[in-house]
């Protein structure tokens, strides 16, 4: 509940400034006007349809990119030879901005769903890859000495030692990958899409419907936060054993 105080205060000041005419209604409409637009879009059915399209795109791209990123991170983390072979190329590809590959994806795959899914998958791939790799390599080597004394098999070392120790980094990578997938979704839907929340924002911009633009932006923000909170819930459940600083 405490986390709602700050946004509530901002909304109250925003509404008051709009009501008093301090800010332009065209450039920054009042929250009540945005809410009315949200209800209008909801009752006509347009909003639910476009949101469903965007959600399926984000989930599809995240599952593709996240799964590949997790597997690649595990392979590179467990094998130094694989690291020497793959990691330099991965780090080079990681530095390429997502927006820079949009023209290439359009040339290769057109404006269809394939290019959008691959763009989202690219955004989700690298956070999970890097954090999984770092999580595995950050395991204390002294724990392996204990495992040798206890005569742990290779699989038992991985299951009882490496993966639990790397889990905080992997879950962090999962949170970052979800955020990157939402960001890539916006870019994907702004490149010639005919449906989705990104298309709704672009269409509203052309007709100067600022309230509808804000509705789309707020939807991205709310569901991005919801996905992050979903992972944090499992993070608290799975990492109860970890004694960390609470602030």
Report the mean per-residue pLDDT for the chain: 84
Helix H or strand E segment including 9: helix 5-19
Kindly state the average pLDDT of the residues 215-223. 88
pLDDT reading at 164 higher than 90: no
Kindly state the average pLDDT of the residues 194-217. 86
Q: Token pair 């909801």 is at which residue?
A: 42
Q: How far apart are CA 22 and CA 16, in angstroms?
A: 9
Q: Which residues of 147-181 are buried (b: 16+ CB within 10 A; e: fewer)?
A: beeeebeeeebbeebbeeebbbbbbbbbbbbbbbb
pLDDT at residue number 128: 92
Residue 27 pLDDT grade (very low, low, confident, very high; cuts 50, 70, 90) = confident
Specify whether the backbone of 29 is left (phi greater than 0), alpha (psi in -120 to 50) or beta.
beta
Q: How far apart are CA 19 and CA 13, in angstroms?
A: 10
Say which residue, 206 or 34, is predicted with more confidence.
34
pLDDT at residue number 241: 67
Q: How far apart are CA 69 and CA 193, in angstroms?
A: 26
pLDDT reading at 246 higher than 70: no
DSSP annotation of 26 reads T
Kindly state the average pLDDT of the residues 16-38. 86
**C-alpha closest to that of 61 among 239, 246, 211, 196:** 196
pLDDT reading at 105 higher than 60: yes
The distance of Cα 16 from the centroid of its chain, to the nearest Å, equals: 33
pLDDT reading at 245 higher than 60: no
pLDDT at residue number 60: 92
């Amino acid at each position: 509940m405490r986390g709602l105080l700050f946004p509530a205060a901002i909304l109250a000041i925003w509404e008051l400034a709009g009501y008093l005419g301090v800010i332009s209604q065209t450039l920054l409409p009042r929250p009540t006007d945005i809410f009315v637009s949200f209800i209008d879009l909801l009752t006509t059915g347009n909003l639910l349809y476009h949101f469903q399209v965007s959600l399926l795109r984000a989930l599809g791209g995240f599952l593709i990119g996240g799964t590949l990123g997790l597997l690649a991170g595990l392979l590179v983390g467990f094998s130094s030879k694989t690291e020497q072979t793959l990691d330099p190329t991965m780090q080079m590809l990681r530095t390429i901005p997502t927006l820079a590959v949009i023209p290439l994806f359009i040339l290769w795959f057109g404006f269809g769903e394939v290019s959008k899914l691959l763009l989202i998958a690219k955004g989700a791939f690298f956070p999970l890859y890097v954090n999984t790799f770092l999580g595995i390599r950050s395991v204390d080597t002294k724990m392996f000495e204990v495992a040798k004394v206890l005569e742990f098999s290779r699989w038992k070392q991985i299951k009882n030692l490496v993966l639990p120790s790397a889990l905080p980094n992997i879950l962090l990578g999962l949170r970052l990958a979800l955020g990157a997938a939402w960001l890539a979704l916006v870019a994907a839907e702004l490149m010639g899409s005919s449906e989705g929340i990104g298309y709704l924002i672009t269409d509203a911009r052309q007709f100067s419907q600022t309230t509808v633009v804000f509705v789309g932006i707020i939807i991205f923000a709310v569901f991005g936060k919801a996905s992050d909170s979903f992972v944090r819930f499992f993070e608290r459940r799975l990492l109860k054993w970890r004694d960390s600083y609470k602030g």
